[in-house]
Homo-oligomer: A and B are copies of this chain.
């Protein structure tokens, strides 16, 4: 296989930018910027997230058995970079961001336009990131959207001309 072709063709997949959060109920709260996300079924509504296995987020999501995906808005590039770094909770904020606990206990970022909360139904333990499958059990709209929902989300290509995570 030609490695350059593999990289370039895989980088054709467009990605939105999400903050994956979870709370395992034992003092561990995670929040990390992710992009390997897709819906995978309508009934029940399932989503799939590729999560780095050596990350704190993977450990916390697995222990919690639940997670939230906070959708970042087109204008929230700085939030994407905030959650590339390890998250901390100080003065009731998550890395400086206001949040509330969702139905799953996972932090819901108040400034993100929307979020879904999921219970983990399956994990495919293959590769350096595992495939976490979650059933959507709650959805939040934090502020109204105008136009298509998929035009309102921050995308990988909005992060910088040479920013990619994939390939």
Flag whether A107 is at the interface (Cβ < 8 A). no
A9 near B148 with CB under 8 A, answer no
Q: For residue A42, which residue of chain B has the nearest CB?
A: B128
Q: For residue A124, which residue of chain B has the nearest CB?
A: B122
Instruction: For the complex, count residues of A whose C-beta is within 8 A of B.
Output: 62
Q: For residue A148, which residue of chain B has the nearest CB?
A: B157
Question: What is the copy number of this chain in the assembly?
Answer: 2
- A129/B42 contact (C-beta < 8 A), A9-B141, A9-B149, A157-B148 known: yes
B136 near A6 with CB under 8 A, answer yes
Which residues in B have their C-beta under 8 angstroms from that of A136? 1, 6, 10
Which residues in B have their C-beta under 8 angstroms from that of A36? 38-40
Which A residues contact B (CB, under 8 angstroms)? 1-2, 5-6, 8-16, 36-48, 50, 71, 113-116, 121-122, 124, 126-131, 133, 136-141, 145, 148-153, 155-157, 161, 164, 166-167
A150 near B12 with CB under 8 A, answer yes
A115 near B42 with CB under 8 A, answer no
Which residues in B have their C-beta under 8 angstroms from that of A42? 127-129, 167
